[in-house]
Amino acid sequence: MTLIKSISGIRGTIGGEVEENLTPVDAVKFAAAYGTWVKQQRNKENYKVVVGRDARISGEMIQNLVMNTLVGMGIHVVDLGLSTTPTVEVAVPMEHADGGIILTASHNPKQWNALKLLNANGEFLNGAEGKKILDIASSNDMIFAEVDALGKITKNEAYIDLHIDEVLDLPLVNKKAIEEANFKVVVDGVNSTGGIAIPLLLDRLGVHAVKLYCDPTGHFPHNPEPLKEHLGDLAKAVVEERADFGIVVDPDVDRLAFMDETGEMFGEEYTLVACADYVLSKKPGNTVSNMSSTRALRDITEKHGGSYEASAVGEVNVVALMKKNNVVIGGEGNGGIIYPELHYGRDALVGVALFLSLLAEKKMKVSELRATYPNYYMSKKKIQLTPKLDVDGILKTMERNYSHEKITTIDGVKIDFSDSWVHLRKSNTEPIIRIYTEAPSQDKADSLADRFIGEIKAIANI
């Protein structure tokens, strides 16, 4: 059982001991620390925070604890109930709120939950802001409101529809072409809030949605990370339904992956590549993704006359570089689309709308579309951490061992070879070392990952 306190929020497993897991005590403490931070940003009479959650079994419990803690601090709460991460991000500025909290552990299994924290722009906190909240939580320097100054909770369950309105109002979403294409799509909502939001969006676009695991019970029918090995039922349904393609999202709907008409994965790395291809064809410009993302985005960007740059892993790092470079689209290779014209956050809904627009205009099958992009293959593996592992020492040794290659150390160690790369880094969200590789074939990518796992184990004597 685990509790991870980081600059990106607090994430842990439900139950167990205080300070060791995500218990009610921990949820209250960190919600109070966040509320204190919110009140430090501006001196005003009334404060407002938007709160939403995915469909996790523990979600309602954690949300009630968080909301009532904020109420106890004199902060008014807008309760979105079952929602998505991008929906909460959109709601914060629309509500003129001082911040937002999403209760979700993204792709982690059902025993996990987390508090994801947003600023007044509806964007994730930066490192300094996250550290400040951790410091407040450690110091217990929190003051609660007196009885006449308590906050109030207001329910507003309209924001998924309002979010969809905002997506459909985007000039590059070709509603007419999508409706005329008469698409049939299977949606795997992993029994969370994607099962609400994605079918609603498709219906508004005139797409026939076949629902698979779209009942938001929080009982995930498979591992909720949208990877090929977890999606056998979706592959079967796409073929049996003779659908044009399949859509799968993670529990909080900020990651998006597609499956072609034959039941083969389009490749989560290529979600961003395809959406960027469409956007850049209409509005040339620059792109950004993180260091663990495919080189294919660089290739597509340069084809359209733009420039590409990689950031450290983490949405807040991607967003910071996107703003600096004034990019037209960016995101993460795990299926996270960030389209600044709507908001600076990973958003599966806008990704679906852009992908459908591309497909409708191209008038080709999903498998044919995939064949138009450069072929790179990735391997994503991990090593479980133990207290004895000196991760920093391991990474320093790797850096020395490969000093003759192109090395980047802004986030772990990335080694660029002529036709491949490997990225080694400690995860922000799980107690693991991630080993990501990319190469011209799957065998080469897997072999490269296995080779580095072996080298790490040799260095660490495990």
Burial degree of 55 (CB within 10 A; 0-12, 13-18, 19+) = buried
Contact 414, 423 (CB under 8 A): yes
> What whole-number distance in Å separates Cα of residue 62 and Cα of residue 43?
28
Dist CA 314 CA 123 (whole Å): 12
What values do phi and psi take at 260, rounded to 5? -75, 180
Q: Give the catalytic positions in this structure.
A: 106
Instruction: In the chain, count H helices and then E strands.
Output: 15, 20
Three-class SS state of 306: coil
Report d(CA 167, CA 175) in Å as an integer.
Answer: 11
Residue partners of 181: CB distance under 8 A and separation at least 6: 356, 359, 360, 363
76, β-bridge pairs: 48
Residues 6+ apart with CB under 8 A from 447: none
| Residue 391 burial class via C-beta count within 10 angstroms: exposed 0-12, middle 13-18, buried 19 and up | middle
Query: In this structure, what token pair is assigned to residue 196?
Result: 């609400």
Q: What tokens appear for 129 in the block?
A: 């802001």
Kindly give the pairing relationship between strand 421-426 and strand 432-439: antiparallel
Ranges of beta strands (E only) in 172-319 are 184-188, 208-212, 245-249, 256-259, 287-290, 308-311
Cα 290 to Cα 333: distance, rounded to the nearest angstrom = 7
Q: How far apart are CA 194 and CA 191, in angstroms?
A: 8
